[in-house]
Structure 1
Amino acid sequence: MTRPKTQSDEQVLENAVRLMHEHGPEALTFERLAKACGLSGATLVQRFGNKTRLKQRTLLHAWDGLDDRTRTLADSVPKTPAGAIELLVALSQGYGGIEAYAEGLLVLREDLRDPVLRTRGAAWKTALCKALAACFAATPTPPRDIGLLMASHWQGSLLWWSFDPAVEVATYIEDSLSRFVATITTAAAREP
């Protein structure tokens, strides 16, 4: 008879995500995870197999969380350009300060190295762009590819903020996206 799990895989993976974000991807070892979650290293090896599989499962779990958060935010914001800005500002608040953002870039590197994780990233991009585009559906002349354009501007703004994080990330992103939306909607209205 097998022993009942004292912690679900999801609980263990939450600890693994935290380790990666706080100390970088290389910090995710069975030994460190065992200390973080209180299970033995042998138990973790039995559940996850090897370090490569543990890292992939951890990052897939993180993508699940981002998918859920994006969906929840997309459902809660007004379907207006201001709602699209609100959605991206809310997603930006998950980055925290500059140190957390920098560690997040190291985690992103791991996503880019793994084809399975790249596929998850591409699926998230598609869902996010669709949610952003829905916020422009009622505008008289929705700009073509507005979801992708806005998501791209958001990611670029995050990167530029990181070089000079003098203001809170949410403030920087909201200002940048507001100027972007004003510019692009004005240009779209002028098109014949």
Structure 2
Amino acid sequence: MPRPRTLSDEQLLDMVLGLIHAEGPDAASFGAVAKISGLSGSTLVQRFGTKAAMLRACLLRAWDRLDMETARLIRSVPTTPAGAIDLLAGLSKDYGCDAASYAEGLLLLREDLRDPALRARGAAWGKTLAAALDRCLHVQGRTPLGRLMLSQWQGCLLWWGFEPQGSIEDYVRGELTQFLRSVA
């Protein structure tokens, strides 16, 4: 009879994600995760098999959380251009409060781009966001702007990383407002 788990997979993966955010994906070794979780390395190997499988499970959990937050924000914003900005500004909050933490987040992006399953999750998320933005921007019969606005948003985040003046949310709001004025 198997022993009961002291930590659920979700709790454990959240710990791994915290470690990755703090120290980068390479820091998520079985030894480091054993140290922060109180589980033995052999227990972690039994659960995940390999470090790569543990990292993938962790990042799939992060995608699940991001999908839930995205759905919540999509439901909560008005279907107006201001709602489009609110949606992307709301998603920007998780990118960090300073350039260093934003840069650490880019290491997660590297892992997403390396793994086909994670890359597919990113592509699906982008399509969901573009469709929501198109609804907010009322593009019926016109060229869809949602994907273009997503590209602008990601560029905003990058440029804020080089010149982190003010909060990332305020910076995104200002840049996207200017973008929508330009394309109106």
Please classify the TM superposition score into its range, dividing by the shorter chain length.
over 0.9
Structure 2 segments unaligned to the other structure (5+ residues):
none
Give the deviation of 1:142 after TM superposition: 6.9
8 Å CA contact retained: 1:143, 1:184: no
Aligned residue in 2 for 1:190: none
Displaced runs of 4+ in structure 1, greater than 3 A?
Answer: none
SS of corresponding position for 1:135 = helix
Give the deviation of 1:143 after TM superposition: 4.8
TM-score when scaled to structure 2?
0.95
Question: 1 CA distance for matches of 2:54 and 2:16?
Answer: 9
Aligned residue in 2 for 1:164: 163
Aligned residue in 2 for 1:153: 152
Aligned residue in 2 for 1:100: 101
Give the deviation of 1:5 after TM superposition: 1.1
Deviations along 1:10-60, one digit per CA (max 9) or x if unpaired, are 111001111111101101111111111221111111001101111111111
Aligned residue in 2 for 1:35: 35
Question: 1 CA distance for matches of 2:141 and 2:178?
Answer: 16
Percent identical across equivalent pairs?
51
Deviations along 1:140-187, one digit per CA (max 9) or x if unpaired, are x675221101111000111011111122111110000001111112xx
Amino acid at match of 1:115: P
Let me know the Cα RMSD of the aligned residues: 1.3
> What count of residue pairs does the alignment treat as equivalent?
183
Question: 1 CA distance for matches of 2:122 and 2:5?
Answer: 31
TM-score when scaled to structure 1?
0.91
Aligned residue in 2 for 1:115: 116
Question: 2 CA distance for matches of 1:120 and 1:4?
Answer: 32
Aligned residue in 1 for 2:137: 136
8 Å CA contact retained: 1:136, 1:142: no
Aligned residue in 1 for 2:67: 67
Amino acid at match of 1:172: Y
Question: 2 CA distance for matches of 1:158 and 1:142?
Answer: 30
